[in-house]
Structure 1
């Protein structure tokens, strides 16, 4: 019986996971690092006792996760090579979960409260001061009274992401990018519950600038308080349940 037949006859739904677990173990052990090339399909198939189709499936999963890039042919760029680009894949996965309503809105809000309080606190404490030019541009863009509520809220979500990016924390930035769609969605869903959008818009503008002012004043405690009140205040105003 060939390896392919053994693979199919045994536990086909688990065979490709064997390859993933093997590569994960080698990464944790330090045997593999970004820039290293994975063994070829035939070698992995023989060493792990799985079919080459399972190896190919595992490689497709790893590529989709942003952990490898693959290229056909020969030469230094051919084969499967470990890369260090987890942020994009992590964000994509979270966006899909948000789009599928995989995360309750209340959990998104709680996560935002934790992450963004950390972000603004770090920004306020940073020495030298971090570049907030992108956040400033978004604040100015949100001052346009001709924006539709949807346009304003899209800029609002981008402003919060810009703060995360300014912090330099790649994990928080990737998480915030993944949650961005969910943030915009629950903000939009709650518009019908806002009696006076112009008043709410004005308050949000002031709260945004208040957060940035606290960061520039290097007052971490005030920045954390303001971002907490800003996020929880809008959520309370729209009273959106799950």
Structure 2
């Protein structure tokens, strides 16, 4: 009996990245070239703009593209070979690494929330409020709030006023975006997930603003526990499909 390994089904955003990788390999697009717009890619590939946005977020976080506001997304100026290596790495992502990253952030950002509740300055409170309001506005639309979610967590890390914490989080910022993209994609597929994430963010925000360090740490820890559980459930639903 001849048996071949079962390949995991790729997510839509991975299929989009695969198409870009092929275009780079064939020379259809060159380093520095502008990619089609989100709408154009969505129509060309017959996928949702949400999936295109997720793919672009991952590509940006991985240093494959850079985005000029109001202009579009461009491949970075690098050799085609190096771009293909970066793209291949994205497509060979290990599932266990994602869970481990969530747990790392759970530990670090739990303490960041604790210290933010104790040390946040007036200016940082204003910034956190502005970021939180933008996040809420996007969440209420039911769309993927990857960038807003990232800015929310970044504002909390800044408010902890611990330069080493900020440096550590900067080192894993690319992977942070990958976790956020997956968490937000799962929420968009499940209305209950959307409500859970919104409530978790509000609990974190209110604990920090009200100067309750223990509650802030607990709220942040529970948020990442939710991220991990939603990720596991989402993976399970894909297998069952």
Between 1:184-193 and 1:219-228, the stretch displaced more is 184-193
2 CA distance for matches of 1:170 and 1:210?
25
Residues 132-147 of structure 1 aligned to structure 2 (within 5 Å): 132-145=125-138
1 CA distance for matches of 2:185 and 2:119?
39
Please say if 1:157 is aligned against 2:139: no
1:221 to 181, 194, 214: 214
Task: Please give the secondary structure, in 2, of the residue aligned with 1:218.
Answer: coil
CA drift at 1:138:
1.5
> Which residue matches 1:105?
98
| 2:125–2:209 Cα contact (<8 Å) kept | no
Q: Deviations over 1:159-194 (max 9, x none)?
A: 101111122212211222332321221332355655
RMSD: 3.3
> Which residue matches 2:195?
202
1 CA distance for matches of 2:204 and 2:105?
15
Please say if 1:167 is aligned against 2:157: no
In structure 2, the CA distance between the partners of 1:155 and 1:194, relative to structure 1 (3 Å rule), is closer
2 CA distance for matches of 1:197 and 1:134?
30
2 CA distance for matches of 1:186 and 1:126?
27
Q: Deviations over 1:110-161 (max 9, x none)?
A: 22111111111112223866722222111111222575643x1221111101
Alignment gaps of 5+ in structure 2: 1-60, 64-85, 236-241
> Which residue matches 2:117?
124
Q: Deviations over 1:37-80 (max 9, x none)?
A: xxxxxxxxxxxxxxxxxxxxxxxxxxxxxxxxxxxxxxxxxxxx
Residues 28-47 of structure 1 aligned to structure 2 (within 5 Å): none
2 CA distance for matches of 1:202 and 1:193?
12
Give the number of aligned pairs: 146
Alignment gaps of 5+ in structure 1: 1-93
Question: Which has the larger Rg?
Answer: 1
| 1:211–1:226 Cα contact (<8 Å) kept | yes
> Which residue matches 1:211?
204
| 1:214–1:223 Cα contact (<8 Å) kept | yes
Residues 27-106 of structure 1 aligned to structure 2 (within 5 Å): 104-106=97-99
